[in-house]
């Protein structure tokens, strides 16, 4: 099992650093964020160290993803929130500070203004179609079905 001695989340997985752990099984750990955006802000991580969303094995991701519906339900019920954001900052430029892949489950309340809607750039049919084709080409090159 891949692990990184300098990684704070690997240390949490190995109980070398304390954390408020809500769920821990062979593939996945969920614990409360130490500096939450809202009370009940939960982090969900793979047990195996991987840095970003492109670094995780599909099987490990499938197991983690399989926990998200019930963990989301747990967050909603325990926090009393009415909605939540599921966020993954993948890569430094996307805001990732801890280089062990993780998913934020952030409780949301009516008009709470916790996370502002990000700027959108609009698009036209032609540029969307070009980008779509590029992505399909990459998928085909990677041999995906
Ligand atoms: P990100 O910016 O997506 O990498 O988010 C990293 C998150 O990890 C932040 O929300 C931090 O508050 C949280 N965090 C960092 N260290 C710990 C820790 N020891 N225990 C719990 N959460 C942590
Ligand atoms: Zn790690």
Mean pLDDT of 39-54: 97
Which CATH number, 2.130.10.10, 3.30.1360.120, 3.30.428.10, 3.10.28.10, labels domain 8-115?
A: 3.30.428.10
Say yes or no to pLDDT of 109 above 90. yes
Q: What is the pLDDT of residue 143?
A: 84
Q: What is the pLDDT of residue 144?
A: 58
Mean pLDDT of 73-99: 97
Angstrom CA distances, 71 to 24, 39, 43, 81, 90, stand at 12, 15, 10, 13, 21
Which positions are catalytic?
A: 102
**Contact assessment for residue 43 and residue 102, using Cβ atoms and an 8 Å cutoff:** yes
Strand partners, 21: 31
- The pTM score is 0.94
Say yes or no to pLDDT of 117 above 80. no
Domain boundaries, the chain: 8-115
**Contact assessment for residue 47 and residue 26, using Cβ atoms and an 8 Å cutoff:** yes
Measured from CB, residues less than 6 Å from any atom of ligand 1 are 8, 17, 19, 33-35, 43, 89, 95-98
Q: Distance (Å, rounded) from C-alpha 2 to C-alpha 55?
A: 12
Find the 65 Cα to ligand 2 centroid distance in Å: 18
């Amino acid at each position: 099992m891949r692990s990184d001695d300098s990684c704070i989340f690997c240390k949490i997985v190995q109980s070398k650093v304390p954390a408020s752990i809500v769920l821990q099984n062979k593939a996945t750990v969920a614990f409360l964020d130490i500096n939450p955006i809202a009370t009940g802000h939960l982090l969900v991580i793979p047990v195996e160290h991987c840095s970003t969303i492109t670094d995780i094995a599909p099987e490990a991701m499938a197991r983690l993803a399989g926990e998200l519906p019930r963990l989301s339900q747990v967050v909603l019920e325990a926090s009393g929130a009415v909605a939540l954001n599921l966020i993954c900052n993948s890569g430094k430029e996307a805001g990732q500070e801890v280089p062990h892949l993780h998913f934020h489950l952030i409780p949301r309340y009516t008009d709470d203004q916790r996370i502002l809607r990000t700027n959108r750039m609009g698009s036209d049919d032609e540029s969307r179609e070009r980008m779509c084709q590029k992505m399909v080409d990459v998928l085909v090159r990677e041999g995906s079905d």
